[in-house]
């Protein structure tokens, strides 16, 4: 099933594989990383979840009915979250069971991953929404509507080189306006391999307008397989 990701003030992703009432914390993160020195105040986190509890039903009805509450409540939640750290953000998406998902993202900043996980784990147990810590992998292929055009991960191509330390250098091919597609590319990467794996495994990223005949190019969807094989290869 295809998904359409809209690049607005926040990202709406059409799909989710979460189980009901679970907090989805990325499986790739270790206990040591999750327990890292997240310099955040419990009081600030509690204030964020208090505001969430007050507005979650309005948020749910606004997305179900498309009414006026949506932008106001999301903006207020984002403002409260940014009191914890300016780089944090919430994103909203529905899942296939009509239960909404609130994602807390560090916008790819690894130093904030422990903070995001701590915030997610402090979420109230009695809640209407599912909670995700960091952007999770999405169902493939991914489509992004941007500047009156649609980019599809199925038809976007990449070449890669794996370094000795399991880091990947990527070249992503866009026939037109490659230099304008950096944000789009990171949305693709977060959807294909997840925010955590993007930060951990993607080292170099180059957007190109023409293909180098010395490289082999693959559908961007295949990056998920490349990363998973790399993670499971003890020799690398």
Q: Which residues contact 157 (CB under 8 A, 6 or more apart)?
A: 172, 173, 211, 217, 218, 219, 220
Q: What is the pTM of this model?
A: 0.81
- Integer Cα distance of 60 and 100 in angstroms: 7
| Digit-coded pLDDT (tens) for 144-188 | 988 778 899 999 999 999 998 899 999 999 988 788 899 999 999
CA 18 to chain CA centroid, nearest Å: 14
Distance CA 43, CA 149 (A): 43
Cα–Cα distance, 179 to 182 (Å, whole number)? 7
For the chain, the C-alpha Rg in angstroms (whole number) is 18
Looking at residue 54, the DSSP 8-state letter turns out to be H
Decide: helix, strand or coil at residue 109. Answer: coil
Residues of the chain with pLDDT under 50: 1-22, 26-28, 30-37, 68-69
pLDDT tens digits for range 65-88: 555 445 788 889 999 999 999 999
């Amino acid at each position: 099933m295809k998904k359409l990701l809209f690049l607005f003030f926040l990202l709406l992703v059409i799909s989710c594989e979460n189980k009901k009432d679970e907090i989805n914390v990325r499986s790739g993160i270790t206990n040591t990383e999750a327990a890292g020195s997240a310099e955040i105040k419990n009081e600030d986190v509690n204030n964020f979840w208090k505001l969430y509890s007050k507005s979650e039903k309005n948020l749910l009805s606004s997305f179900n009915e498309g009414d006026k509450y949506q932008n106001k409540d999301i903006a207020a939640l984002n403002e409260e979250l940014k009191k914890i750290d300016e780089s944090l953000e919430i994103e909203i998406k529905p899942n296939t069971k009509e239960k909404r998902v609130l994602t807390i993202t560090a916008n790819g900043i690894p130093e904030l991953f422990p903070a995001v996980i701590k915030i997610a784990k402090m979420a109230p147990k009695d809640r209407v929404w599912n909670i995700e810590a960091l952007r999770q992998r999405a169902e493939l292929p991914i489509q992004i509507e941007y500047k009156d055009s649609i980019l599809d991960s199925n038809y976007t191509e990449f070449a890669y080189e794996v370094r000795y330390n399991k880091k990947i250098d990527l070249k992503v091919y866009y026939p037109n306006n490659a230099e304008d597609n950096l944000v789009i590319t990171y949305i693709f990467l977060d959807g294909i391999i997840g925010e955590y794996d993007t930060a951990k495994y993607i080292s170099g990223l180059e957007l190109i307008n023409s293909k180098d005949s010395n490289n082999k190019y693959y559908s961007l969807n295949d990056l998920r397989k490349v990363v998973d094989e790399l993670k499971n290869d003890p020799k690398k």
